[in-house]
Amino acid sequence: MSAGGMSETDTGKQLMITVSIMLATIIQVLDTTIANVALPHMQGSLGAASDQISWVLTSYIVAAAIMTLPVGYLSQRYGRRNIFLWSVAGFTLASMLCGQASSLNEMIAFRILQGVFGASLVPLSQATLLDTYPPEKHASAMGIWGVGVMIGPILGPTLGGWLTEYYSWRWVFFINVPLGALSLLGIYLYVENGETKKARFDTLGFALLGISVGALQLLLDRGEQIDWFQSLEIQLYAILSVLGLYLFIVHSRTSETPFISPALFRDRNYASGVVFIFIVGITLLATMALLPQYLQQWKGYPVVTTGLILMPRGIGTMISMMLVGRLVKMFDARLLIFVGMGLITVSMYEMTGFNLQVGQQALVWTGIVQGLGLGLVFVPISTLAYVTLAPQYRGEATALFSLSRNLGSSIGVSIVMAVLSRNMWINQQQLGERVQLSGVGMPGPNDMTAVMSGVYNEIARQAAEISYVNDFQLLMWVNIAAMPLILLLSNPARKKAKEEARARKASEALAREAEEAPAA
């Protein structure tokens, strides 16, 4: 029997559970990026200003970040299946309302609802898969889960652009309705509720941590738009985030029932896995935030071409995730993580050589290599993080794991976009100082404006080229700096296999000695 009480031979039921919960996972992660390309169309329909429309993204991300925190408690208190059903139903209804919104205020309210109900879908799907499959199949289960989690950020902009271009921006949300309905039916029929237990909810701990996470998310999402710490709003977010975290730590050390179990951080594998998935989040979304803008704005590619060029990166990720379940049985998972991070580093190194004349072949090749690396890192980390953790902590642990990945993504995007913006300004100033227009052969006054415009555009292009290369280089060094963390991970399954092999060899040696010894 598996951890969830299911016969390991009941593959049909396992398959239906997997399909049902992965549909829920995919629609949730898709909505983190699918609406990005539709924002200009929404702006006109909803009558919003350019600085207001970004709240369509921010409201969803902040609500999801905060409501990820109590998922572990809610699933233990009311049953995982019940929370799953309410979450999928609420998320699907909120998606339908988003598609029908007629004003910015309505859209923001419905996006908050989407975030509230969708927050639990990713951590609950991970915990359900871990309980559905036996321990020896956890790597394969995490491969399936990883494909669902990572396909959203990769394919979201492409799908969103296609739906907006050929149908309407409203279909960015309406597409969730049939998928959500299928997921709801499958979860109702096949997912078991599991054991429930009454426990005191640490309201103060949740409130303090929620304020800290929410303020940090707002700081990261709004900082680039309002000049970071030059703005009083950003200063307020920073104070709230730091103060909330400090008070949460103090409260947790003195509370009899803390909001987050200290046992999670005493597990070295889990703590290291949380740090690792934070780094993966940085690499995953930061690169995806840079490349579409780089290809469309500076290389002049249309949306459809951009999507096709970025797609091989997702294909590489899915290939390695499908293979990694078998590779884990053949090689130490830590070796796979090292190889994966090495591939990511190689792809980033190649990207530091990009210029505005880079060909599509180089763009596709680096994307495939990076995708293969991400798959080799994501699945073993998601497996090793829970290998030594007691099953009763999985609901709480998966919520914190998802939160760490999301925060890594937000911080990574904010940092690279801020560095890009600042470097472009600095590079434009430095390049502009070196431009000298000779008086010989100069055009007349009527043509001077066109000449100056051409010079400015070329300076902007060269400044952008240097700035993007600097960002790719930064991500490469972040990835290299994280590689020593592999030493903190242990692989009990590998250690157990080695001990069993040694015991088997010793037993065989004793048997041979007994056969060779003369009869008494």
Q: What's the one-letter identity of residue 102?
A: S
* Residue 499 is assigned to a structural domain of this protein: no
Q: What predicted TM-score, i.e. pTM, was given to this entire model?
A: 0.76
- The b/e string for 143-175 (b: 16+ C-beta within 10 A; e otherwise) is bbbbbbbbbbbbbbbbbbbebbeeeebbbbbbb
| Residue 235 and residue 103 share a domain | no
Q: Which residue, of 258, 275, 291, is where some domain finishes?
A: 258
* Residue 129 is assigned to a structural domain of this protein: yes
Closest CA to 69 of 203, 199, 206, 197: 206
The predicted-structure confidence for 224-255, as pLDDT tens digits, reads as follows 778 788 889 999 999 999 999 999 999 988 88
| Residue 283 and residue 235 share a domain | no
Count the Cβ atoms, other than its own, within 10 Å of residue 33: 23
* CATH code, 14: 1.20.1250.20
| Residue 184 and residue 45 share a domain | yes
- Locate 149 and state its tokens: 């989690």
| Residue 366 and residue 279 share a domain | yes
The predicted-structure confidence for 429-478, as pLDDT tens digits, reads as follows 888 877 765 554 555 555 666 667 777 778 888 888 899 999 999 999 99
Cβ atoms of residues 132 and 14 within 8 Å:
yes
Q: Which residue, of 176, 198, 220, is where some domain finishes?
A: 198
Closest CA to 277 of 496, 122, 468, 130: 122
What mean pLDDT do residues 18-40 have? Answer: 81
- Locate 102 and state its tokens: 């007629």
* Residue 25 is assigned to a structural domain of this protein: yes
* Residue 510 is assigned to a structural domain of this protein: no
| Residue 237 and residue 271 share a domain | no
Rounded Cα distance between 60 and 492, Å, is: 39
Maximum distance among all alpha carbons in the chain? 116
* Residue 500 is assigned to a structural domain of this protein: no
Q: Which residue, of 235, 258, 281, is where some domain finishes?
A: 258
| Residue 487 and residue 401 share a domain | yes
Range of the domain at 156: 1-198
| Residue 377 and residue 316 share a domain | yes
Most trustworthy range by pLDDT among 214-228, 282-296, 362-376, 502-516: 362-376
| Residue 194 and residue 47 share a domain | yes
Name the H helices within 331-359: 333-351
Domain count, the chain: 3
| Residue 117 and residue 240 share a domain | no
Residues of the chain above pLDDT 70, percent: 87
| Residue 31 and residue 171 share a domain | yes
pLDDT above 70 for 495: no
pLDDT above 70 for 159: yes
| pLDDT value, residue 444 | 55
Contacts of 366 (CB under 8 A, 6+ apart): 347, 350, 351
Q: What is the mean pLDDT of the chain?
A: 82
* Residue 181 is assigned to a structural domain of this protein: yes
Cα–Cα–Cα angle for 133, 139, 142, nearest 5°?
Answer: 80
Confidence band, pLDDT 50/70/90 cuts, at residue 106: very high
- Locate 420 and state its tokens: 């890009």
Q: Round the CA-based radius of gyration of the chain to a whole number and report it.
A: 26
Query: DSSP string covering 14-26, please?
Result: HHHHHHHHHHHHH
What mean pLDDT do residues 76-88 have? Answer: 90
- Locate 470 and state its tokens: 């600097």
Query: DSSP string covering 412-474, please?
Result: HHHHHHHHHHHHHHHHHHHHHHT----STTPPPHHHHHHHHHHHHHHHHHHHHHHHHHHHHHH
Query: DSSP string covering 135-188, please?
Result: GGGHHHHHHHHHHHHHHHHHHHHHHHHHHHHHT-TTHHHHTHHHHHHHHHHHHH
pLDDT above 60 for 518: no
* Residue 445 is assigned to a structural domain of this protein: no
| pLDDT value, residue 2 | 40
Confidence band, pLDDT 50/70/90 cuts, at residue 91: very high
| Residue 147 and residue 107 share a domain | yes
Cβ atoms of residues 133 and 140 within 8 Å:
yes
Rounded Cα distance between 470 and 430, Å, is: 15
pLDDT above 50 for 122: yes
Cα–Cα–Cα angle for 196, 201, 206, nearest 5°?
Answer: 125
* Residue 426 is assigned to a structural domain of this protein: yes
| Residue 193 and residue 338 share a domain | no
